[in-house]
A and B are shown apart, each in its own frame.
Chain A
Amino acid sequence: MSTPTSGSRAEAPAAKPTDAEWPLWEIFVRSHTGIAHRHVGSLHAPDAESAIRNARDVYTRRGEGLSIWVVPTSEISASDPEAKGPLYDPANDKPYRHPSFYDIPEGAGPM
């Protein structure tokens, strides 16, 4: 599925045209205006445009979406699960960081 003459098309950085398996993409869908894109899953596609089309068919067939982002899975860096303690535990005893001491007016919408 190589596209050597179509330079304008975004290619997955790790894509090797002769690989039998297309590269993996992470899919983010925004369901309502004003809400952030949410991770909904992943799929395989040869390039970014195809990934968006595939995401449209796989993840928005019941009217879930207004906007789709696709990101090559290989481009995502993740935190180290082993470092859970030092990364997150220090936040546990700092309740003053939660904005829970304020009343949110009704009708303010998603915050």
Chain B
Amino acid sequence: MDDIAEFALRMGDNALVLGHRVSEWCGHAPALEEDIALANTALDLIGQARMWLELAGEHLGRTADQLAFTRDAWDFRNLLLVEQPNRDFGVTMTRQFLFDAFHLPLLTALSGSSSPRVAEIALKSAKEATYHLDRSRATVVALGDGTPESHARMRDALDILWPYSGEAFLADDLDTRLVEAGIAPDPSSLRAEWERTVTSALAEATLDAPGSGFFHQGGRDGSRHTEHLGHILTEMQFLQRAYPGAAW
């Protein structure tokens, strides 16, 4: 598989899997306004997934739909963070914030990519990610610095998700080649800005970042996804699996 295709899968699968996760709230969010906001976010992400997977598909001779709906778990290249279950609203918004704080600087850097297609997709997505981060940050602050119950739930959310927050910044051979080709930034170079964003928000939210430096990995190279991804795919891919090629 060529490097652009592999990279586009990493970007597209992050957006697709997180978009699907967020869409699971549709009709269940704690307030009507949050429900609509989450649905908007999910649609933004699925729109981004379509662009990245179309790019990957051009290199692989497959359509975006085929990539989304007919690959198995080990072919997915999303971060472990985005496949983690929604649990409660606090976990959902903490996951969103930890991802957005990484996604925005990544997309901003990609806007200057040597690949015009990558730069074009990143530029369009960065506007959406800017709003996502604005909203998820505000929610994390409001809930962390909220009632005793919301504070406790946000503390639990951080404990659950923190070990999945470091994978995004671990560079591998593909990243090295992408940096050399000027296509994408070194993921580790994004870490400082992510830490600034997260630290300042958690301080406002009266939350402490967990001290652990242990991070799960295996999502972005597909080597070891958590069991949750398979469950997502079961639901997300059901129609195309049961009725191959179905269209309407």
Q: Which of A's residues lie within 8 Å of B, judged by CB?
A: 1-6, 17-18, 22, 43-46, 49-50, 53-54, 56-58, 61
Docked complex Cα distance between A43 and B37 (Å): 13
Give complex CA distance A4, B150 in Å. Answer: 14
**Across the interface, which residues of B come within 8 angstroms of A50, CB to CB?**
138, 142
Residues of chain B lying within 8 A (CB to CB) of residue A57: 33, 36-37, 40
Which residues does B use to contact A, with CB under 8 Å?
A: 31-33, 36-37, 40, 131, 134-135, 138, 141-143, 145-147, 150, 204, 206
Known contacts A53-B134, A53-B135, A61-B40; is-contact A1 B33 (Cβ 8 Å) = no
Give the CA-CA distance A4 to B32 in the complex, in Å. 25
Known: A5-B206, A6-B204. A46 touches B33 (CB 8 A): no
What would be 17 A-B contacts, judged by CB atoms less than 8 Å apart? Answer: A2-B145, A2-B147, A3-B145, A4-B145, A5-B204, A5-B206, A18-B147, A22-B31, A44-B31, A44-B32, A46-B142, A49-B138, A50-B142, A54-B36, A54-B37, A58-B36, A61-B40
A19 to chain B, nearest CB (A): 11
Contact between chains at A3 and B142 (CB < 8 Å):
yes
Determine whether the beta carbon of A6 is less than 8 Å from that of B141.
Answer: yes
Tell me whether A58 and B33 are in contact (CB under 8 A). yes
- A23 to B79, alpha carbons, bound, how many Å? 38
Cα distance, A2 to B135, chains bound together (Å):
17
B147 touches A53 (CB 8 A): no
| Further pairs besides A4-B145, A53-B134: 5, Cβ < 8 Å | A5-B145, A18-B147, A44-B31, A57-B36, A61-B36
> Once the chains are docked, how many angstroms separate the CA of A45 from the CA of B30?
12
Q: Is the beta-carbon distance between A1 and B142 smaller than 8 angstroms?
A: yes
Contact check: which of B33, B40, B150 meets A45 at CB < 8 Å?
B33
Instruction: Please indicate the chain A residues that have their CB under 8 angstroms from the CB of B147 in the complex.
Output: 1-2, 17-18
* Shortest 4 CB-CB contacts between residues of A and residues of B: A54-B33, A57-B37, A57-B36, A57-B40
